[in-house]
Structure 1
Amino acid sequence: MSKMSHINVIEKYEEHRVAIHNLLSSILSCFADDKMFEKSDEELAEFLNSLCSYYPFVSLLYLLDAKGKQICMNVPGSQFKHHPKIGLDADRSNRPYYLAAMKADGVAVTEPYLSSVRRELCLSASMKVNNDDSTIKGVVVLDIDLSSMLAILTGDSRRIHFEPYFKAMYTLIVLGLFTVALMLLYAAGVECLDVIYAMMTPEKRLEMPLGVVIYLTLSLAIFDLGKTTLEEEVLLYKDVLRHSSTRRTITRFIAVIIIAVSIESLLMIFKFALKGDGEHIIEAVWIIIAVASLLVSLGIYVYLGSKAEGMLLNNRDKQKAG
């Protein structure tokens, strides 16, 4: 469970675009007025802190004059105090949020872009404020941390705080699996040395080195299981609210089990065939049939899951179009 990539953030933004724009429009239109341009930086900071108690995803607040020149320092939100307080007298007249605000009658919301301060995806909500004589007094701009906003809107903000503990636990489990794989590799190496010694000693009877293959196969299966766990639960981001992520994880784990059990069943067939113990081959055949059934069931699960998700996406697109 890693941090969302920019692609993941943009995909989730597209899913909740209408809700995000409506929320930002309601937030900014409720407090943006001409009195804000008379407040000092300290008063703006106090005001923003009270706003962030309800909306912690607000990262910056700043004011522009009618020509797009910033007339105050960047005021960071309570969750983003590390932001440098800069920006005074900066020319923002060519920025999309200023241009959109000048054309709009209400709140304008930009598309996601990389913040020059945090290098993270953010949105800017802007709104022009008029004087009593209908001339433009300035523009109020809010920068929004998009990842934080999506986490709050989807109810995922609490889980994020536990992610380091989840990652630590999965890491310990993976280290244990890798340790077992190394032990099996060591056992396979010892078995190989015994086989080589038997080949070099004429008086010793050479047996088929099936133990080496078994150890190596088990080591491969356990290592692959640990690798899958490490990638799925520690290194890669997994959206627990989306069924495709769960389907991907289940598919990878079941695939590892199918490969390991298939190899073991083949080894059983070879072992019984070489020893002439044909009466036990049927047991290995039943295992192969079980693996085939598991593979068919996995294919049906993947097909039905992808088809169901496609139907959900189509319904969502129809609702947006309507």
Structure 2
Amino acid sequence: MKEIVAIYKNNYSFIENSLTAMVDSIDFDEYDILVSKSIFALFPALKATYKINKKFKQSTPLYTQENVDNSSIGLDKAHLLDRIQFRDDNIYISNIYVNSRSGTPFITVVIHIADEYIVCDFELYTLLKELSLIEGHEYFSEFTRYFYTLFGFLLALFSLALIIYAIYITWTIVLDSDKDLLSGLFRSIIALTLALAIFDLSKTILEHEVFYKSLSRNNNLENRLLARFLTSIIIALSIESLMVVFKIALSDSSKMVHAFYLIAGVGIMIVSLSLYIFVMRYNGKKE
């Protein structure tokens, strides 16, 4: 919703002029014929339309792309028209609002012709697509969608493979009592942590690029992906560092300096990630 509103605000003049051109191209003297035959095919973003007579009563059914609703004929629409300030060309274009029927953002255009008012409800998302303000080239968009689908599910499969590997390690430890229990458990935890990080990356890609594709490109998605993935990597490295410390402490304490270097590296990563998140949030507040 926020991305749609941002696109609308940045392109307000262009969208308003485009809507004006759309309604100007309609011959409303043939309104009933257009509604029954072609108006919704000509303008996919137009989702509903109806007429209001000079007594401010709805004089036609509510025409939608799916059906015709006669139940609203005769309803008093004075409360809507009282708040309307028409332009010099007798056209009113509303602000964005959430349609009660669909729950999606809409824009309403009202045309005053003679003693009648013609109301046209446009779905903003479809309108932005028609005006090429979202999405890209149709075929390229489809290609990238399929690629992200393949890539996302492959990542999910690798995540599943890591989970199976972690279970396998734990199972071999249970069956073979001679194996190092502590080392095996740590390796299982690391594998599970990496599996979670990879699955989280896969889920985010599929959500934003395939199933619920973002409406605009910004840096927030990439920043969230990087921050979440690095967090999982830091957790895995922290567990590995702890395992190295235990191993060195039990075998040769003279090599403890190597464990120190590893822990120091993890500490540097934590500080760097913290600074990165701080800068990201600061820039987000400025925007």
Q: TM-score, normalised by structure 1?
A: 0.71
Partner of 1:60: 48
Structure 1 distance, partners of 2:271, 2:219, is: 20
> Which structure is richer in relative contact order (CA contacts within 8 A, separation 6 or more)?
1
- Conserved in 2, the CA contact under 8 Å of 1:268 and 1:284? yes
Is 1:93–2:72 an aligned residue pair? no
Is 1:127–2:110 an aligned residue pair? yes
CA offset at residue 123 of structure 1? 1.3
- Conserved in 2, the CA contact under 8 Å of 1:64 and 1:71? yes
User: 4+ residue runs of structure 1 moved beyond 6 angstroms?
Assistant: none
Structure 2 distance, partners of 1:73, 1:41, is: 15
Structure 2 stretches lacking a partner, 5+ long: none
CA offset at residue 238 of structure 1? 7.1
Residue deviations 1:275-311 (CA, integer Å, cap 9, x gap): 2x23433222212111111111112222222223333
CA offset at residue 124 of structure 1? 3.2
Q: 1:51-200 maps to which residues of 2 (within 5 A)?
A: 52=43, 56-66=44-54, 67-71=56-60, 74=63, 76=65, 83-87=66-70, 90-91=73-74, 93-94=76-77, 98-101=81-84, 103-105=85-87, 106-116=91-101, 119-131=102-114, 137-150=115-128, 154-156=133-135, 158=138, 161=142, 162-163=144-145, 166-195=148-177
CA offset at residue 69 of structure 1? 0.9
Structure 1 distance, partners of 2:157, 2:82, is: 53
- Conserved in 2, the CA contact under 8 Å of 1:62 and 1:75? no
Residue deviations 1:200-236 (CA, integer Å, cap 9, x gap): xxxxxxx752332233222322221133124322346
| Change in 2 beyond 3 A, CA 1:254/1:308 | same
Structure 1 counterpart of 2:30, from 38, 46, 49:
38
Residue deviations 1:22-80 (CA, integer Å, cap 9, x gap): 34532443334995043433476435534x3xxx533334433332414256253xxxx
- Conserved in 1, the CA contact under 8 Å of 2:48 and 2:64? yes
Structure 2 distance, partners of 1:210, 1:29, is: 72
Partner of 2:194: 222
CA offset at residue 263 of structure 1? 0.7
Residue deviations 1:125-150 (CA, integer Å, cap 9, x gap): 2223232xxxxx22222222223345
Structure 2 distance, partners of 1:33, 1:92, is: 28
Partner of 1:49: 41
CA offset at residue 12 of structure 1? 2.3
Count of matched residue pairs: 274
Partner of 1:293: 268
Structure 2 distance, partners of 1:22, 1:220, is: 52
- Conserved in 1, the CA contact under 8 Å of 2:108 and 2:119? yes
Structure 2 distance, partners of 1:261, 1:114, is: 49
CA offset at residue 86 of structure 1? 3.5
Report the 3-state secondary structure (helix = DSSP H, G, I; strand = E; otherwise coil) of the residue aligned with 1:107.
strand
Worse-matched range after superposition: 105-114 or 12-21: 12-21
| Change in 2 beyond 3 A, CA 1:294/1:256 | same
- Conserved in 1, the CA contact under 8 Å of 2:152 and 2:203? no
Worse-matched range after superposition: 25-34 or 261-270: 25-34
Partner of 1:233: 205
Q: CA RMSD in A?
A: 3.3
Partner of 2:279: 304
> What amino acid is the match of 1:265?
S
Structure 1 distance, partners of 2:77, 2:25, is: 23
Report the 3-state secondary structure (helix = DSSP H, G, I; strand = E; otherwise coil) of the residue aligned with 1:74.
strand
> What amino acid is the match of 2:135?
D
- Conserved in 1, the CA contact under 8 Å of 2:166 and 2:189? no
CA offset at residue 190 of structure 1? 1.9
| Change in 2 beyond 3 A, CA 1:120/1:23 | farther
Worse-matched range after superposition: 21-30 or 250-259: 21-30
Structure 1 distance, partners of 2:71, 2:147, is: 41
Q: TM-score, normalised by structure 2?
A: 0.78
> What amino acid is the match of 2:259?
A
Structure 1 stretches lacking a partner, 5+ long: 1-8, 77-82, 132-136, 199-206, 314-322
